[in-house]
Chains A and B, each alone.
Chain A
Amino acid sequence: MNTPALPIGTVRAAWFFVAPALLLIVVFFFVPVLAAFCLSFTDFDIYALANPDHLRVVGLKNYQELLASDDFWKAIGNTFYFVLVGGPLSVGISLGTALLLQSKVVRFKSFFRTVFFAPVVTTIVAVAVVWRYLYHTKYGFLNYILHFLGINPVDWLGDPAWAMPAIILMAVWKGFGYNMVIFIAGLQNIPDELYESARIDGAGAWQQFWHVTLPMLAPTFLFVGLMTMIGYFQLFAEPYVMTLGGPLQSTVSIVYLMYEQGFKWWNLGYAAAVAFVLFAIMLVATLIQFRLQKTDAS
């Protein structure tokens, strides 16, 4: 591709205009990330905090220990559980509500849009207070319904098998409104003529959805899928406010493990290594998703 050379003055002016933003990114993003990367090869802890002489460069030891520790693999398992179950569920529900709110039969659309979006802007701590009541074994609304259906009460947050589903349910409820709004925007961008010609060709509702709506939403899907996945990999606030990683470590996510190592035990070197492993996992997952979407499109 041939770009015509810009006059020097224009280039300088451009640099001048982007400089503040670049400077901020460098100072508050690249420098700390680089520092953390270096930190992950040291045993920085409270002793080193007291006196820099107590810092040792340990090479790959943090990474080796990490890969050999049961806690880490448990956290990986929990996080993948959350991403693989919660992610698709969240995207599916977002798409479903978006389609409902776009259809012509539903009334009070803007009202519902606001209602569904409200949890997204509510703080997680307030949400957690309410959900802890909903999940309460004896007085919770969820168990009240189960009781009504003749099902035995579930110890939502106390049973290792149920704690993660409980966290997923809450996270999906809290987050689906955001993707829903993006899907609605995507749906509104699909020209009516396409549906019209599909109808003339004799396509039913299902065929219209499959052959018009979905392909036209592909770019939206890519964006929503990526953002949801990246966000879900960073699971932290939900277990932090609901279960503190318990019961039996069943809701310890990678970020929660990092928080515990870094800010509870103050092993910042080790915590930095956890962060970079998470980064690597997310990078790979993102590349895979890009590749999948590309083959889909072609």
Chain B
Amino acid sequence: MFLFLALMTGCTNQMDSRKEIRIWAMGKEGEVLGTLVPAFERLHPDIKVRVQALPWTAAHEKLLTAFAGESLPDLCQLGNTWMPEFTALNALEELTPWITQSKVVQAKDYFRGIWASNVFDNQVFGIPWYVDTRLLFYRKDLLEKAGYTSPPQTWHEWKTAMQQIKKQVGPDKYAVLLPLNEFEPPIIFALQQPEEMLRENGTRGNFQSRSFKKAYGYYLDLFRSQLSPSVGNQEISNVWQEFGRGYFSFYITGPWNVSEFKARLPQSLQPAWATAPMPAPEVGQAPNSMAGGASLVIFKASKRKAEAWAFLEYLSRPEVQIRFNELTGDLPPRLSAWQNPKLADDPYMRAFRQQLEFTRPTPKVPEWERIATELRLTTEVVLSGRKSIEIALKELDTTTDRILEKRRWMMAQNRAMP
């Protein structure tokens, strides 16, 4: 009995001497992160990692409340679209000094667009953990039937192919699905154009620019010429089933859907679908898509930054990223991880590998998600015929300017900006 007690106290003493770091992760990542911890703790016997999983729906609110209440963890998974906000809050540790000393984290081993979404004023605030971009999922068989043996390379080619498909499938079916409740498709087309969607250092809307009008015009035309149905995702209750039925042949979506399509499409249709990089506006132009995904960040308020960095470094190792990919299906942000045959030889992944070379971040302002939501509502208004494109885009610029008013005021005050 005494021996047992002695052992117990021995154990607890040992536990107490370890330095504990806390990490928050969301969704599926939060669920599986725990399985990577024991191996790290064996390498660093002095560190104890406590993982807390947050559901995505509550994560943003919880992070901001924790910031206000000064109860943030040491490090955290942060979606790329949230980076500008937390940089504006001045909540994140600048990582450049840590990176220069690191043997593991090498900026040039990361996809450029993804790395760029973590950089504000030449300062790095996050290390990409996994990447996420959108590209074409398409029905090879239907495209072949319409006379095409390879996926389209340019906007023009794509549209001609869609028109051919539409001829084949008839009035009740379509060539592409661009759900109206998603703001991503028009934004992807706009990211392929030279001009930014916000001007004057992200303080005013630039939706009446030539670039945006061209991108948005192409997007809206796909609805008007009946190539895409004017529906939201809630009306397509089962997107996989509809894809299988040939309701549409092209769909712009992300890596999470690869495993879904593999699992949900019937065996007979498995050889009939493939992935391809986004088409470019013209030959020779960059076929850009969004630089999505999540990064790992260390909070400024953390008292265990060295230990937190050690864990961040561990998670950034290529072999750990491969293991993480097996657990979650998330795509690694490092070029060296992509040399692993598991990814390099996967036909569905090849398109993602190509697309990741061509990603561009969305405007890096905290208000972006709100502005993108306004863009989505604009699309509904224009397609319903209540307003012309010209007027709707003018109003979108006005709304955007109003949303960014505070940001302009702060710039004028010459305060530190993200």
Contact = CB atoms under 8 A, between A and B. Distances in A.
B67 interface: yes
Interface in B41-72: 60-61, 64, 67-68
Nearest to A265: B370
A47 B406 contact: yes
A264 B406 CA distance: 17
Interface stretch (A50-58, A185-193, A196-204, A208-216): A50-58
B90 A51 contact: yes
A47 B365 CA distance: 12
Interface string B223-238: 0000000001011010
Nearest to A54: B410
B293 interface: no
Given A50-B88, A50-B90, A138 B237 contact: yes
- In terms of DSSP, what is the predominant structure of the interface of chain A? loop
B235 A46 contact: no
Interface in A36-58: 43, 45-47, 49-51, 53-54, 56
B85 interface: yes
Given A248-B380, A265-B370, A266-B64, A47 B88 contact: yes
Contact of B88 (A46, A56, A137, A246): A46
Contacts of B235: 155, 158
B234 A49 contact: no
Given A49-B68, A54-B415, A247 B232 contact: yes
Contacts, number: 43
B255 interface: no
A53 B409 CA distance: 12
B237 A46 contact: no
Contacts of B234: 157-158, 246-247
Contact of A137 (B85, B237, B366, B407): B237
Contacts of A53: 415
Interface in B171-209: 181
Interface string A245-265: 011100000000000000111
- In terms of DSSP, what is the predominant structure of the interface of chain B? helix
A137 B67 CA distance: 42
A158 B388 CA distance: 26
Contacts of A138: 237
Interface in A188-241: none
B15 interface: no
Contact of B410 (A47, A137, A246): A47
B89 interface: yes
In the complex, which range does the number of interface residues on chain A fall in?
20 to 34
Interface residues of B, number: 23
B9 to A, nearest CB: 42
Contacts of B380: 248
Contacts of A158: 234-235
Given A56-B409, A158-B234, A46 B89 contact: yes
A138 B242 CA distance: 14
A155 B91 CA distance: 44
A155 B231 CA distance: 14
Point out which of A53, A247, A266 has the most chain B C-beta atoms below 10 A from its C-beta: A266
A56 B405 CA distance: 12
A266 B67 CA distance: 13
A247 B85 CA distance: 28
Contacts of A50: 88-91
B64 A46 contact: yes
Contacts of A248: 380
A272 B309 CA distance: 39
Interface in B70-127: 85, 88-91
Point out which of B60, B232, B234, B370 has the most chain A C-beta atoms below 10 A from its C-beta: B234
Interface of B: 60-61, 64, 67-68, 85, 88-91, 181, 232, 234-235, 237, 366, 370, 380, 406-407, 409-410, 415
Closest 9 CB pairs of A and B: A50-B89, A158-B234, A263-B61, A50-B90, A265-B370, A158-B235, A49-B68, A47-B406, A46-B366
Interface of A: 43, 45-47, 49-51, 53-54, 56, 137-138, 155, 157-158, 246-248, 263-266
